[in-house]
Every structure is written in structure tokens, then in C-alpha cells.
Structure 1
Amino acid sequence: MPFSFDFRARLVAGALGASLIAAPAAAQQRYDLPAAPLADTLSRISLMSGRSISASAELVSGKQAAAVRAAPDAETAARQALAGTGLELVITPAGVWSLRPLPAAGPVAALEPVLVTAGNAIEPSEGTGSYTQAESGSATRMRLSLRETPQSVSVITRQQMDDQGIVNVAQALEQTPGIIVNRDNSEGYSFYSRGFQLESFQFDGLPSLSSDGGNVRDNYSITNSVVYDRIEVLKGATGLVNGAGYPSGVVNFIRKRPTQDFQGSITGGIGSWDRYRSELDLSGPLAAQGKVRGRVVAAAEKRGSYMDYARGKENLAYGIIEADLGPRTTASIGVDHQQNRNKATSNTHLPAFYSDGTPVRFPRSTNPADKWSWRNQDTTRLFADLRHTLDSGWQFKLAAAHRNYRSRELISGMSSALVDARSHSVGHGYYPGGAARFDTDTRENSVDFQASGPYTLFGRQHELVIGYNAARNHAQSNRHDGETDALIDNAFRWNNDAAKPGVYEWWLTQNMLVNQKILYGATVLRPADRYAIILGGRLSNYAWNQNLAFANGRLVNYASEVRRKFIPYAGLTYDLDSQHTVYASYTDVFKPQAYSFDANDRQLDPLTGKSMELGAKGEYLDGKLNASIALFQLKQDNMAELDTSGARRPNGDEAYVAVQGVTTRGVELEVSGEISRGWQVHAGYTYSRSRDRDGRRVSTTQPEQVFKLATTYRLPGDWHRLTVGGNLLWQGNTYFTQAIEGKDRRFIQDSYAILGLMAAYDVSKDLRLSVNLNNVFDKAYYSGIGTYNSVYYGAPRNVLAQARYRF
């Protein structure tokens, strides 16, 4: 009969593909598989044996496979798995394997076979209750298990976000092993991995091209996380998935998708400093028996702050529609819009030094901003994709996205200049004696076409992905200056209310245009049962242009262009046994440094280098627990570092120097998932050491050692309604250097630990009450240092209580 590929069948096909790729190929090994959905077990047997198994999706949908124990070959394993399912394995004289219902009285009509192959839709983390994810495509653009991926990948699942009170990207990355979050100002963050800034972001695997630079910036750090199923972080050089970039990694935001069945939830929360938030999430079929599905998510928050005068509010709306256009064709379209409104906002933050070179220590409640300063941000993302799958398992995907970022801000307050050691006076204003208004607009368009699927070579099955990506980002910022007080008489005794300018005059317009085109491809070769070789690369064209127009008539243009730059990628995995894999990977590093200039206003040459990684990964408890260890080394030239001599560019901006022969070596250990029944954990330790060719430490604002832990435990027995847990961050010391009166002065942040606790109680199967207590011991520490020689205090002890009702 003709094959009908409805929504449920697509879920089955996705599960088949997930397991097909996840299992190690080891024909000489016995088959030991747990009881699982039949689609998953058949896919594992298919990949382990290299044999294709044909079946209609209707046959396997909803059926549970029996456990397979000590089966000596694939046929025995398949027959064990089919026990009790009402199906049997049929093998033709030509060696074709297929399934059919067990014979009944009378003739049995043969079902049209459908090849069991891998799809590209990775199952969501939502609803699994897990702190780990079985698969990821963030490293290679192919769906591989974490164990099969020859690089470090961390995943913050929906469950971890819900348990730990995570509501934005910065909070999620604060709990990601190996990632450093540096607070720049009242709304901005910078992220770092392996000693370098992490500035590559993707949405559902589609790269977003940042125009990052000065006040023309795209603030990903404030992105609300409520619309995401999970956040995947690939650490190290991104040889395949992104264009030019630091060898730090990429953050991939995976959105929530519509569900076949109706579901919904509503959440309300209240927290410290007059914090109030609410969330609504609705999903389900819209028409045609679930062939058209939709989902909407909305969130709102209003909050004060531990800093004087600071307050803000945030609104978010997200909607997506997904439709089956045919048996093997699916289309989706969606939009999300986030609105942020903040008052008493800072651009830099607190000064770090007195004029005599001794550190300044302000109370944690100190806000450097004038109470009348503000920052408003609006981000809108439109996206669409079209996917078509062939009988052979090949899938074609066309994806497009548009992003519009709008920022309006008035910046004024205490400068990060030196505080006079005697009078305690300090400079005021965005520039001495002036406030500045910035009107910034960023528009980005991107498109990606990708084809992926299996192929047979020398009697074995392999996988291939090829694609093309193009992105364009145009940003414009207009700056208007107004006069205000030039000096704060006493940095410790002022009311954040300097004279407000009456007139703002245009001073500067910045225009930035970035274009990037990438041709990429990779293959997973399986020459033997235990081995997999990943080979690929990307060919990039990158062009950047900045035009500056000043009020005095001066025009300045900067440009950078790289054409046909090829970045190779190679990876190797070897299965030691059914649970453990060792791996190695290599890729080149290349990043044009369009925004880094020396004191002579000369643009620094591109950052170049090589990235290597060796490691081992383990998969335990039927895939519920993942563990890994990675050794990495990065070698680079032309690394941009702030010029600590005090020299600045002719326009007054900070100058950089190119550091040669920088070597970064380190180790990462990570474990995620369920370590015993009801006990979820996500923990990691990272040691990363960066030195130049003279042995001097670089990237000093990043700690060399970091440990992170997030965990929950559901109590057993009569206490099963109660879940307790928490999170811990420990990091080593950091510092930055500032030249004062001809001497280099260090501002040191000692090592510190921050503890958070949580508890949740299930009043019923639908209603959950939870509370998150952060910074339990009220530790005073700096969550950011070094941005324009300023420092930022971390938040004191605070609490968030929430109630979530599901229906």
C-alpha cells in the first residue's frame, strides 16, 4: 500500500535516525540493547551491522522492542527485539531485510517497504527530565551522538533551565562547563571559552552574523531563554559550522517546536528587588489532524536591582507554525520579538583604581550611571525553513532568517577614569563633561541550503553533508552629544543626578556592513566497525566595511576583505567498547580582526593558528549519562591584546597590539545526565593556560581554572513529590593591568565560589512550586573586570519563587 508519512511517522523516522547514528559499529561485538521504542532498537541494530532494515512507519509506530541480550549476530538481535510486537523479520534470497505482521489465517498482504535511515530532526530535550542530550549537530552539521562527536559539546537542557531558574542566555552560559561570563555593564555580557571571546551564535543551526563593534553591537547576551528547547555550546575552533571566528566555540540556540498533542503551561514568579515575572506556553495541532501545528510562548518581567536607581522590564512573544506539505515535506515559519526597557543603565562600570594606583572599593549597591540614563532594546527575528526527505534517507533543507535589532540609549554617569586619591573626585559623563545618545539599528539577512544523507562506498554505509550559507549584516549608529557636569566631587557621595543636557547635537554616524559567504561540506567515513573518520572544510568569503562621518566634516573608512579562504577539518573516533570512544580532531583558526587597531590606527592582521583536541567519551545507563575528557591545544599568531602602555588610537579609542606565538593548552572534564534514579547532574572542570612565546600570561581577565556543578535529586518513597538541588561555581583568580603614573598596576580578583540552592514540590501532576536561592552565603565578588578598566560586582544573595501549572 502507499506509504503515508504523517506527523507520528515522522517522529518515528526521527527516532530511527537518532539511534542509527548514536550506536557504535562493532559487528564482532555481542548485541546487548535495553528495552526501548522499536524504532530506536532497529536503528541501532541497522548501524551496528551495516544492514538496512525496511519497514513502513505504521508498522513500528508505538511499538516497544524487547531487550536484546547477548545476541551473537544482527539477525538474532532483530528477532529478539521483535518478540511480542506482532511483527517478524523477513530475509529474501537476495539478502534484503524487511518487517511484516506475523502470519494470520489467510493470505497476508505485503506492505510496501520503506528504508530505515537517519533523519536530521534531533529529538527535543523538553519532557525528558534530563540534564543531557543524546545527540547534537552543532559540531559537524550532522546528527551525531555526543560520544561520536570529536569535539567538546555541552548542552543546557530545558529541564536544567527550569530547575535552576535560568531565564536568559547569560544565566545559561554561567552554568555551562568551560564558559566564562564577564559582566561588562548593566545590560551587557561577554562570553569566553578556552581564553577567547565567544562571539559566534546560531539559531536552529543557522549562523547569525554579528556586526559587533563599539555601540554598533548586537546584544545576544540579553536574549530570553524561555523560547528554547536547549542551548548547545561547541567549544574550541569551529572548523565546519561557522565562518571566520575565534577558536572559542559557537552557541547554538534550539527553539521549541510545535507538538502533535495539545499541551500548555502558565508560570508566575516573584523575587528579590521587586522582581515579578510570568510565562505562557501553548502548543498543539491547528488543522488537518495535526498536519498543521503551532506554538506560542510569551513572557513578561518587571524588576528592580541591588544597584541604586536601576530597574527594568522585559516582554517577549514567540510564535511558530509547522505544516506537512506532503508525506516527506515539512515547512515552518515563525517570529520572536523581545523588548527590553532599562533605566539608570551603565556603559562601562565602576572605576578600579585611585590616582595613586591603589584599588577602589565601592559598596555593592553603587551605580555609576545617572538616574536619568536609559537603554531600550528591541530584537525581532523572522525565520522559515523547508525540509524534504527522500526514500533513500537524503534530506534537503532550505532555511532563511531575518533579524532586526534596535537600540536607543542615553549614556551618562561616573566614568571609569581614576578616582582622585585625596578628594575622591572622578570624571563624569560618557566623555569628559558630556552625555551621549545612541540610535542604533542592525538588520541581518541569512540563507542556508543543506543536503545530507547516507551513501554506500566499498560495501559500507557513510554519511555526507554539503551546503551553502550567505549572510549580510548592516548596522548604523548615530551619536548625539550633550553637555553635562564634567566632574563628580565625591565618587562615594553623589546622588546620581548630574545636570541633564537640554540639547543633544549630532557628533558621529557609524555605518558597518558585513558580508559572508560559506561553502561547506563534510563526510563521516566508516572504513571499519570501530572507526569513523570525519573529513571536511569550509570555503569562506568575508568582507567588512566601516564608514565614519563626523560633525566636523571628516570622513573615515576602514575595510577588510578575505576571499576564498579554506579552513580544513578532520576528526577520528575509535570505539574502545560498547560504552567508550576515543577521538582526535584538528582544524585551522582564521579571524579577520576588523575592529582591532593599533596606536597608529592600523588594522591588525588576521588571527591565524591551529587547533587540536584529543579526548575520550563515555555513554552509560542506556544513554542517560554522558561523560567526557578533552585535552586541547591552540597555537595562534596576531592575537589582539589591549595596549597596556596607555597608548590610544588618534580618535581616543583603546589601542591593541598583536601578540605572536600564543599557545593555549588545557583539559576539560564533563559529566551530564542521570547518575542514579532521580539524580540529575551537570558538572565540569576546565583548566586553560594561555602564554605568549616569552611565557607571559595572556587573557588575564579569564580564570585558568573553573569548576561548575548543577544538580537535582527527586526524593524516593513518600517524599517523591519533593526535588532538591543547587548549583556551584568556583573559578580561579583573574586580573587586568592599567598604566598609572608610568607603572603597571594590577587589579586582582581572587578565586571565589558561589553557591545556589533550589527546591521544588509537585502539589499535583500539573502544579509545581519551586524556589531558587542564589549566592547563598552572600559572597562579595566581581562578576566582570577589565572592560574599559572598570569592574562590576556580582549580585548579592537573592531569591526567586515560581509556580507552574501545566495543562
Structure 2
Amino acid sequence: MRSSPSHRLPSATLAAALAITFVCGSGSAAAQPAEQATAPSFDIRVPAQPLAAALNELSRQTGAQVLAAGDAVTGIDAPAVSGRLTLQQALDRLLAGSGLMAVRNGPLQVTIRRASGDAAGASLPTVTVEAGTASGADGTTEGTGSYTTRSTATSTRMDLSLRETPQSVTVIGRQQIEDQNLVTLDNVLRQTPGIVADRLDERVTFSSRGFALGTMIDGVPTLAFNTVAGEASMLSTAIYDRVEVIRGSAGLLNGVGSPGGVVNLVRKRPTSQFSGHLTAGAGSWNRYKAEADVGGPLNAAGTLRGRLVASRTAGDSFVDGKKTAEDVAYGILEADLSATTTLALGFEHQKTATDGANFGQSPLFYSDGTRSRLPRSFNSSAPWSYWNMYADKIFANLDQQLGGGWRLKLDASYLKSKRKRASGDLNTYYPVDGATGDATIDIRDNPANSRNTSFDAHLRGPFEAFGRTHEAVLGLSYSDYSYAIDTNLAAPTAFDTRPLNFYTLQSFPAVTVFPYKSYTLSGQVSEKAVYASTRLRLADPLSVIVGARATWYKDASLNRNQVAATLTQNPGAHESGVITPYAGIVYDLSREFSVYGSYTDIFIPNTVRDSGNNLLSPQRGKNYEIGLKGEHLGGKLNTGFAVFRTRESNVAVEDTSAGLLPDGSVPYRAVAGARSRGFELTASGELATGWQMLAGYTYHAKRDNDGALLNPTYPTRLLRVSTSYRLPGEWNRLTVGGSVSYQSGIYYDEYAGLGRASQGGLTLLGLMARYEFTPQLSASLNIENLGDKRYYSGLGGYNGYTYGPPRNVWLKLSYKL
């Protein structure tokens, strides 16, 4: 939010102040009956939400000009309003019981003011702050209709606009998730600017600027997705309000600070008014989905609120013999223990079960060096293979207002994850004879389990110094993660590998008993940290953010080889009080544009092992970023340009010259030094009334000290565009849009030297349309890979490839309660 140049407000006032501007006028509470009789009516569909967001949605649907002071609308929730209504009727319903009224100032302007004053003479404060209502004060995106957000705290723990944050941040909000049918985290990140999603099998790795991404939930770091007992890509988006992505080092809050950045999953919260929806859908390959989401007050005073989400998705896939079922349940209770204290308790459950599941990839080459050219439907695993994931989580958070704008927040969670997996998989590290079909199959049972306990406490608020108001955060966090992965075999050997004619893989006899324990990898990771940051307003146009994190980290694991009857303690990582500094500066060039710069140290204990099964030493480095950000149309549209550079030592890259580790994973080797540099352009939000867009173009190249390109299976250029447009006038029941995803060419040199597999530049198109039959009932259609491109969604992870899905369609009906 930005004040006018002639009168700038302190941060506390900025957070409350608001001026919402619509485009065409209508009557006021004092309008004459004759005027109301001739006023135009509109098909109004405004869900229950904060009043500021409701007024913004009304502007999109009707077009009127309304001014409101932030101190008048802050903290007020509006009920759902729908039907064929005049603007005045809609305003009366939105303002009912709020103590506010609409007053006409002119033919094209309405003022929202307190009803206690004199309507004729009352006016707004002389200073107003133009601010988009793209989200709630806490960044909530649900119900806003926007592809951007007004604030995010993922980078610094302070609620800052995207323009005020000296890093590259993208927020995928609820509206975009619904419009583009982004049902898993994998779907979301494949449409996020600057993010590479590389599919191994049922697992997907996510990276930015050539480096892996960390994970947070509600702003709290989690280690829960470090092993296959907790696969992040499978997470359903049904329970999340938004996904916030920081590109670039996020070491201040997220663990030890991967230079790639962090993904923050923000849960849905209970609403102050009853609301919800029922959704049913069907798609290609016999897929279907049913979802229910309801929430609201549970007592008359509204001090106890709840929300429940339940969904089931199931069906086949384009891969022979593969089918997946996903069940999700989420519940949360939120209680106002006092006027200043709010306590929330919740649970999550997700089960994802896949039959015909893959471990590994399809072969790129036959043993004579010719390309395999297998159909997209080829399944590299036997049909009796399965991969079932279970996750159960309980969490609690306490929000305590301390006065003077200071708040204390406590977050705690416990997650238990489990994997059940057994399979027969084509081994792509062994020769495959294209003429005879001679190949090798790996047979194994691979159960895994993990537990993660996380806790975070932080204090934040304003303070006065040097005649100005500043902000500060002080916090501590703790995370403890334990895991175990077993390898059980059907034969008393170190590996159960058998000859196979891969042309008959789908009829390979099922193996159901695995009596021989071969190998167990177990370990524990603990991380403790204290962190602090402050935002200093050194001058009207200048703010500086400085902070640091001190981390205590320990990683210990052991290998139990039952065949050789040995127990090996792996070399572990143990670091004490490692300081990760953070610094950022933002300078306002005008009311719309700011320049910024940021710097962060990098410290990352490696979790991968070398060919000798030893843990690699920690990575260290530095991350720099400078850029220009814009905030337009009162915050409804955000733009950005960034140039970044990362230097790192002891970087882990796959060691294709070594065999697999005893647990079947790929070994890594350390590169003495690496640097990544590039730039990006982004835009998110409303380009014009009814037209939402998220777009980004990124270039990056990660090279070693000799200039050789690292990770050539990752594209160096990415373009991501997602958009939707609600048609005006008589066609306003229809919304159309789609997505464009481009990536530059990639390549992989086969493990045995059989050749290089490459893929040129790739462009994928998607389409969407939604039609609202009534204010409650709508139907939507999504088409993925419109051009039916044949492409790799993963290359080289297991010396093979994974195909992306061909053209497919999804149709769903949604009913708002």
C-alpha cells in the first residue's frame, strides 16, 4: 500500500487504511425512490469474505465508484450476496449489521461511512491510501477473485506487500488453483514462474535457479518431505488457501537456507460467516472427483468457528495398468479465547494409493544404441506394483495480541507419514535388447515411515526510533525428523534381479511375499534455530531489512545390511550456531515503482550420499539479487524484474559413473564450486476489469568453475503464463482462459555411453472455461496439453525418461452453499 506523496502514513495506519475505487456509480442510502426504480440491476455473486474484499468483488461485477476509509472497514466481514440486484441493494446487504452505510457523493461516486454521523456532511479523512483488495490483511486469497496478493510474510515474518519484499515472490492463490484445476502441488509448481518440476517416477523434484526448494507449512519450516515416506509432489491443494514461492535463498526463516528458495503452503481457515461448496468432476481416463468444503461460526457469538474439507479423487491414467486414488480430510477449529487471544486446533489426513506404480523410468536406448521410441502408455513396472502413501498431521497455533501492535504467535505440529510399496521394475541401468527383449527386472518391497515434530514461536510488532515507526521480529524454531526405509526381497540375495523379456513385462508373475530383509536405512535430523529481523524506515522512500538466523543442525543415520549381517554408522553432519545473515533494501522511486537489493548467506547440510554411501559435506555460498518492482491499479497488479547471482561450494550433482547405492538410490558427487546467474520478469494480478493473469519469464544457467553447464536436464529458459477473463455485460456468466508453458531444450548423456537424448524447446497449451448457471451453480472445463505434445516430464533421473500426459479433459460442477 502506498500513501500520496504529500502525506505518508506510518505502517500501522497503512495496514488499516483503504480506498476502494469502482468504475460506475449508483444510488446511496439516501437515494430517491424514483432513482432506485430506474437503477440498473446486475447478476450479483459475492461470497462471504472480509468487507474490503467483498466491495472489490462487487466492483468487478457491477462497476461503481466507492470510497472507504480503512479504519471504517477493517475487521468487518460481509455476508454472501447473490441474485438480480441493483448496486444499492447489493451494498445494503453487504453492509447490513456493520454500522456502516453508503452515501452518494455524486453521480459516479459512493462513500462508505459510519452510520452514526451526519450523512450529508460526513467525509473521509483527508489522507487515503490506495490499496488493492487482492487479499485479506493476512494475505488470504480465497474469495478475492485475484491472481495476486496484498501481503506475504514468507520471506521475513513481516506482513509486506510484494513490492516491499526485497526478494522474488510468487503467490498462487485460490482463484488460480480453481481456474486452472491445479489439484496437486506438482500441478501448482508447473505453472509457477521460474520453477522446474522434474519427474523421476511417482516422485518429483522441484528447483529454482538450479537449486532445490525447501518447504514450509503456514510459514513454519518442515523436514517432513526429505525422504520417500513423505512425497511433497503428491500433496493435495484442497486444504490450502494459497501456495507462496520464494525464489532465491530463504535462509532467514526456512531451515538452513537453500539458494533455490522455499514453498510455503498456507492452510484454509474458518470463515466468520457460513460458506462452503460441493464439487463433483470427471475427466479423461475414467477419473472422477468429489469434494465438500464447509465452514463458519459454531456458536451465536461467532467466537468459535470451524471448517471441514473432504475430497476423493480416483481413476486410471494414460499409462497402462496405472490407477490412483486419493483421499483427503481436513478439519480445523478456531476459538477466540478473549478479545486478544485466538487458538486453533486442526488435523490433516491424506492417503494416495497408486496401482501399477513406477519406481524408475523407461529406457532411452536399446543396447545397440538405437532409441527405444516406446509409446507414451508404456509402463516400466509390472501391473502388480503399488505405491501407497499415508500422512496424518495434528497442529495447533496460538495468536496473542499484546498491545501496541505487538503479537506473539506459537505454532506446533506433529506429522506421521508412511509408505507401502512393492514392485517389479525394469532396470534402466542394465542393457535392454530391442530385438530379443532381453532385460533385467528388480523386485523388492520398500516400506518406509517417518515422523516430524515442528515448533515455531515468534514475536513481532512496531517500535519507535529516530522519529519513525519501524518493525521487528524475534523468533525461535525447532524441527525433529526421524525416518526408516526397509528393503525386503523375495530371494535370499543382496539384490533380487531377474532376467526379463521387457515386451512381456505386463504379464510378469506377481510377487506377493518378501520374507528376506536385505537392507534398512534409518536416521534422524534435528534442527534448532533462533532468528531476528527488523525493517528500518530510514526515510520516507527508503527502508532496510536486516536479520540473521543461528542454526544448530544434526544429521545421523545408519545402514543395517541383513544379508552381510553388518551395521554401519554413516558419517553425519553436526553444526552448531551457524549464522545465516540476511540484508535487503527497498527504495521507492514513485508511488508505483521501487528498486531493491538483497543478500543472503547459504549453508546447507547435504542429505545425499556419495558412491561410498557417505554423506556429502555441507554446501556453502552467497546469494545476491537486485531488481525493480511495481505495484499498479491500487495494488491489483504487481510486476517485477530481478537479476540474481549465486555462488556455491561443495554442490551435489548426480554421479552417473557409479552404480546405485544399496537402497537403490542414485549416488552423488561434490562439485568444488558452482555459480548460477540469470534474470526474470514477472506480472500478477488484474490487467483490466475481469482479466486476471500470472506470468513470468526466467533465464538461469548453473555452471561449475570450469564453465561447464550443470544439470543439463533442467531448462535454462522458462515462460509461464496463466490467465482468465470474465466477459462483460450480457456474457458475464462466462469466464474463459488458459495457460502457456514454454521451456528451452534439455539433454542427457546415457549412463553406459549409448548416446545423448535431447528435447528441443517445448510449448504446452491449456484452456479453461467456466459458466455460472446461477449464483450458486457453475460448470467448468479444463483442457491440458491442447496440442497433444509428446514430451519428457522427467529425463535422466534413473538413466531413462518419464513422459508427460497427453491431451486430456476435466469437467466439474460446483455448488456454493
- Matched residues in 1 for 2:72 and 2:539: separation? 21
- The CA RMSD over aligned residues, in Å, is 2.9
Match of 1:189 in 2: 204
Calculate the TM-score normalised by the size of structure 2.
0.84
Does 2:782 correspond to 1:772? yes
Match of 1:759 in 2: 769
In structure 2, do the counterparts of structure 1 residues 659 and 568 end up closer, same or farther at CA, with 3 Å as the change threshold?
A: same
Match of 2:189 in 1: 173
Measured after TM superposition, the shift of residue 592 of structure 1 is 1.0
Match of 2:69 in 1: 38
Measured after TM superposition, the shift of residue 640 of structure 1 is 1.0
- Given that 1:572 and 1:585 are in contact with CA atoms closer than 8 Å, whether structure 2 keeps it comes out as yes
Give the stretch that moved more between structures: 354-363 or 787-796. 354-363
Match of 2:566 in 1: 554
In structure 2, do the counterparts of structure 1 residues 400 and 797 end up closer, same or farther at CA, with 3 Å as the change threshold?
A: same
- Matched residues in 1 for 2:764 and 2:523: separation? 40
- Matched residues in 1 for 2:619 and 2:467: separation? 43
Measured after TM superposition, the shift of residue 351 of structure 1 is 1.4
Measured after TM superposition, the shift of residue 661 of structure 1 is 2.8
In structure 2, the gaps of 5 or more residues are 1-10, 21-64, 75-94, 121-134
Measured after TM superposition, the shift of residue 623 of structure 1 is 0.9
- Matched residues in 2 for 1:375 and 1:326: separation? 46
Match of 2:321 in 1: 309
**Cα deviation digits, residues 208-265 of structure 1 (max 9, x gap):** 113624x5x4211101001111110011101211112421011111111101110121
Amino acid across the alignment from 2:221? P
In structure 2, do the counterparts of structure 1 residues 646 and 474 end up closer, same or farther at CA, with 3 Å as the change threshold?
A: closer
Give the stretch that moved more between structures: 353-362 or 765-774. 353-362
Counterpart pick for 2:515 among 504, 511, 515: 504
Measured after TM superposition, the shift of residue 126 of structure 1 is 0.6
Match of 1:467 in 2: 475
Match of 1:128 in 2: 144
Calculate the TM-score normalised by the size of structure 1.
0.85
In structure 2, do the counterparts of structure 1 residues 465 and 502 end up closer, same or farther at CA, with 3 Å as the change threshold?
A: closer
- Given that 2:19 and 2:67 are in contact with CA atoms closer than 8 Å, whether structure 1 keeps it comes out as no
Measured after TM superposition, the shift of residue 639 of structure 1 is 0.7
Measured after TM superposition, the shift of residue 557 of structure 1 is 1.0
Measured after TM superposition, the shift of residue 15 of structure 1 is 10
Does 2:459 correspond to 1:451? yes
3-state SS of the aligned residue for 1:242? Answer: coil
Counterpart pick for 1:477 among 453, 473, 485: 485
- Matched residues in 2 for 1:359 and 1:702: separation? 21
Measured after TM superposition, the shift of residue 655 of structure 1 is 3.2
- Matched residues in 2 for 1:159 and 1:82: separation? 28
Match of 1:265 in 2: 277
Correspondence 1:520-539 to 2 at 5 A: 520-539=531-550
Match of 2:27 in 1: none
3-state SS of the aligned residue for 2:188? Answer: helix
- Given that 1:233 and 1:250 are in contact with CA atoms closer than 8 Å, whether structure 2 keeps it comes out as yes
- Matched residues in 2 for 1:453 and 1:509: separation? 48
- Matched residues in 1 for 2:661 and 2:282: separation? 47
Match of 1:416 in 2: 428
**Cα deviation digits, residues 723-760 of structure 1 (max 9, x gap):** 111111110011222342xx473221221111111111
Aligned residues between the structures: 722
- Given that 1:15 and 1:40 are in contact with CA atoms closer than 8 Å, whether structure 2 keeps it comes out as no
- Given that 1:137 and 1:144 are in contact with CA atoms closer than 8 Å, whether structure 2 keeps it comes out as yes
- Matched residues in 2 for 1:36 and 1:323: separation? 33
Q: Identity across aligned pairs (percent)?
A: 38
Amino acid across the alignment from 1:747? A
Measured after TM superposition, the shift of residue 85 of structure 1 is 2.7
- Matched residues in 2 for 1:706 and 1:344: separation? 32
In structure 2, do the counterparts of structure 1 residues 680 and 652 end up closer, same or farther at CA, with 3 Å as the change threshold?
A: closer
- Given that 2:367 and 2:754 are in contact with CA atoms closer than 8 Å, whether structure 1 keeps it comes out as no
**Cα deviation digits, residues 766-796 of structure 1 (max 9, x gap):** 1110000111111000101111212100001
3-state SS of the aligned residue for 2:584? Answer: strand
Does 2:391 correspond to 1:379? yes
Measured after TM superposition, the shift of residue 360 of structure 1 is 2.2
Measured after TM superposition, the shift of residue 495 of structure 1 is 2.7
**Cα deviation digits, residues 353-382 of structure 1 (max 9, x gap):** 222344322100000111111111111111
- Given that 1:351 and 1:419 are in contact with CA atoms closer than 8 Å, whether structure 2 keeps it comes out as no
**Cα deviation digits, residues 532-555 of structure 1 (max 9, x gap):** 000001000000011111113101
Measured after TM superposition, the shift of residue 146 of structure 1 is 0.4
In structure 2, do the counterparts of structure 1 residues 583 and 362 end up closer, same or farther at CA, with 3 Å as the change threshold?
A: same
Measured after TM superposition, the shift of residue 649 of structure 1 is 5.9
Amino acid across the alignment from 1:38? A
Match of 2:337 in 1: 325
- Matched residues in 1 for 2:794 and 2:71: separation? 46
**Cα deviation digits, residues 424-462 of structure 1 (max 9, x gap):** 5354333xxxx2112211111111110000000111000
Match of 2:606 in 1: 593
Does 2:217 correspond to 1:203? yes
- Matched residues in 1 for 2:471 and 2:556: separation? 38
Match of 1:10 in 2: none
- Given that 2:193 and 2:719 are in contact with CA atoms closer than 8 Å, whether structure 1 keeps it comes out as yes
**Cα deviation digits, residues 445-491 of structure 1 (max 9, x gap):** 111110000000111000000100001011122221114771222x3
- Given that 1:463 and 1:523 are in contact with CA atoms closer than 8 Å, whether structure 2 keeps it comes out as yes
Counterpart pick for 1:566 among 568, 575, 579: 579
Measured after TM superposition, the shift of residue 206 of structure 1 is 1.1
3-state SS of the aligned residue for 2:177? Answer: helix
Measured after TM superposition, the shift of residue 41 of structure 1 is 8.6
- Matched residues in 1 for 2:729 and 2:431: separation? 60
